[in-house]
């Protein structure tokens, strides 16, 4: 057996596996692993993460759930036609796309699905376990990149699909990442189970554009003692995400995270709203405007405006790969509960994390350092914190979330 075949491999189980973000993740991972493209946008490929023990891109194996049938290679063709993927890349990694396509299982609940919540959780968990078993994976990370769901309907409503999948991940013994604003592990039913499981989890809602800028500019206004009077934003977006966010309840879930970062970094909630408009003609290309009205010395009124024009899936995919690698390594190191150190990646981070990007980056690179110092292997017993690894006793390690806050 060659050295590469004997290396432990790590599964990445994508919920929403045939979506734009998922297709870009699978295509991009294969292209970068093959040396066809540099790892632009992947923070885990920068020197701060050297020797942190992260799984190699070539050791990631993809599978997942989706509720649509369009095969991954076809989806990659569509993304190529839309300019999201560079020409020729989907053909160059056709065998990797086909391999991931073979590992996609039907998701749910689909309209008319008669299965109970318990049956759905069991079916999803069985699919994940089967994937891990057949590929002899060391572990698998479940990552939610499915369509955004409407905001919470309250504790008595049926469990949202994202929470069914989060519970399935726990049942299958897998760490979990929520890249969407959907409830997932935030639902009280899942939060309780997460605490018992001793598994690490991260989320929620990837920070790829407007909120990324806000997490830099908010601290700037606060540190320069400039009084922000109003912060208004508008987003124009097409694609599947644009269509999902045309539902005001789904957009509300997304906008809550975008506004939270302002309140947290400014220490006050400025006037102004954030809107998301579905413009199908734009596909995956998003334009985000922010208009910030602020007061300077002696009350002089001033305005900052920003325009962000980005390709959503190209911004999201490298972060999903970073998160899968970091969460897998956190699991290997024996960490459990909310991974605060990954707040850098999220609009609405779990746990007790700062909201400014600079502080979040310090926490992330400290985490990378502590992973490096912990050395290779299982259950190194790290504790989260500003880069300081601390040995935990076995009881402490398996004691769930409380240990890590
Ligand atoms: N692209 C970004 O910059 C970015 C940033 C932050 C968050 N996100 C979030 O990532 C998610 C994915 O975005 P996208 O552009 O790939 O959207 P998309 O519409 O292209 O893909 C979503 C996929 O989820 C699938 N899906 C829907 N319900 C499901 C279910 N119950 N089970 C399994 N699969 C299901 C859909 O069939 C679709 O294939 C969205 O929630 C979006 O808000 C994206």
State how far Cα 404 lies from the chain centre: 20
Q: Is 205 in the pocket of ligand 1 (CB under 6 A)?
A: yes
List the beta strands (DSSP E) in 221-284. 227-237, 274-278
Read off the pLDDT of residues 254-298 as tens digits, 9 standing for 90 and up.
Answer: 777 777 889 999 999 999 999 999 999 998 899 999 999 999 999
Judged by DSSP in three states, 158 sits in coil
Q: Is 274 in the pocket of ligand 1 (CB under 6 A)?
A: no
pLDDT for res 388? 35
Whole-number Å distance, alpha carbon 321 to ligand 1 midpoint, is 15
Whole-number Å distance between alpha carbons of 179 and 152: 17
pLDDT for res 375? 76
Read off the pLDDT of residues 159-170 as tens digits, 9 standing for 90 and up.
Answer: 999 999 999 999
Ligand 1 atom index nearest CA of 313: 1
Judged by DSSP in three states, 203 sits in strand
Q: Is 234 in the pocket of ligand 1 (CB under 6 A)?
A: no
pLDDT for res 257? 72
Which residue among 127, 147, 235 has the greatest number of ligand 1 atoms within 8 angstroms of its CB, and so is best to mutate? Answer: 147
Q: Which residues of 301-317 are buried (b: 16+ CB within 10 A; e: fewer)?
A: eeeeeeebebbbbbbbb
Whole-number Å distance, alpha carbon 269 to ligand 1 midpoint, is 29
Nearest to 328 by CA among 318, 339, 315: 339
Contact between residue 283 and residue 82 where contact means Cβ atoms under 8 Å apart: yes
pLDDT for res 2? 43
Q: Is 68 in the pocket of ligand 1 (CB under 6 A)?
A: yes
Whole-number Å distance, alpha carbon 160 to ligand 1 midpoint, is 15
pTM: 0.92
**At residue 366, does pLDDT exceed 60?**
yes
Rounded to the nearest integer, the mean pLDDT of the chain is 90
State how far Cα 180 lies from the chain centre: 7
Domains of the chain in sequence order? 3-205+314-397 (3.40.50.720), 210-310 (3.30.360.10)
Read off the pLDDT of residues 69-121 as tens digits, 9 standing for 90 and up.
Answer: 999 999 999 999 999 999 999 999 999 999 999 999 999 999 999 999 999 99
Read off the pLDDT of residues 395-404 as tens digits, 9 standing for 90 and up.
Answer: 333 323 222 2
pLDDT for res 154? 75
Q: Is 180 in the pocket of ligand 1 (CB under 6 A)?
A: yes
Whole-number Å distance, alpha carbon 402 to ligand 1 midpoint, is 31
Q: Is 63 in the pocket of ligand 1 (CB under 6 A)?
A: no
**At residue 394, does pLDDT exceed 50?**
no
Q: Is 120 in the pocket of ligand 1 (CB under 6 A)?
A: no
Residue nearest to atom 21 of ligand 1 (CA): 19
Residue 130's φ and ψ, nearest 5 degrees, are -60, -40
Range 145-150 average pLDDT: 94
pLDDT for res 173? 98
């Amino acid at each position: 057996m060659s050295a590469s075949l004997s290396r432990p491999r790590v599964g990445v189980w994508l919920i929403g596996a045939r979506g734009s973000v998922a297709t870009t993740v699978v295509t991009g991972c294969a292209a970068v692993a093959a040396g066809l493209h540099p790892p632009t946008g992947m923070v885990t490929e920068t020197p701060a993460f050297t020797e942190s023990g992260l799984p190699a891109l070539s050791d990631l194996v993809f599978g997942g759930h989706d509720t649509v049938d369009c095969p991954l290679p076809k989806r990659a063709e569509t993304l190529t036609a839309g300019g999201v993927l560079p020409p020729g890349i989907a053909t160059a990694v056709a065998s990797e796309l086909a391999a991931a396509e073979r590992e996609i299982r039907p998701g749910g609940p689909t309209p008319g699905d008669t299965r109970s919540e318990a049956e759905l959780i069991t079916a999803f968990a069985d699919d994940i376990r089967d994937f891990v078993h057949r590929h002899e994976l060391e572990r698998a990370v479940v990552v939610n990149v499915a369509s955004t769901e409407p905001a919470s309907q309250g504790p008595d409503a049926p469990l949202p699909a994202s929470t069914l999948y989060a519970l399935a991940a726990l049942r299958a013994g897998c760490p979990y990442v929520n890249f969407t604003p959907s409830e997932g592990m935030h639902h009280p039913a899942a939060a309780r189970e997460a605490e018992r499981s001793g598994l690490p989890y991260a989320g929620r809602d990837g920070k790829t554009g407007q909120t990324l800028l806000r997490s830099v500019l908010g601290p700037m206004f606060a540190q320069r003692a400039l009084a922000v009077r109003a912060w208004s934003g508008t987003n124009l977006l097409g694609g599947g995400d644009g269509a999902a966010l045309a539902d005001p309840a789904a957009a509300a879930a997304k906008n809550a995270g975008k506004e939270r970062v302002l309140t947290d970094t400014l220490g006050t909630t400025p006037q102004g709203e954030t809107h998301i408009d579905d413009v199908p003609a734009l596909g995956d290309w998003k334009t985000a405007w922010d208009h910030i009205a602020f007061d300077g010395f002696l009350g002089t009124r001033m305005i900052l405006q920003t325009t962000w024009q980005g390709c959503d899936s190209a911004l999201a995919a490298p972060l999903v790969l970073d998160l899968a690698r970091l969460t897998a390594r956190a699991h290997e190191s024996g960490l459990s509960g909310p991974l605060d150190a990954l707040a850098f990646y999220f609009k609405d981070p779990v746990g007790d994390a700062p909201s400014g990007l600079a502080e979040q980056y310090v926490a992330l690179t400290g985490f990378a350092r502590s992973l490096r110092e912990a050395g290779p292997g299982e259950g190194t017993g790290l504790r989260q914190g500003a880069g300081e690894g601390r040995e935990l006793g076995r009881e402490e390690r398996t004691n769930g979330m409380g240990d890590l806050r």
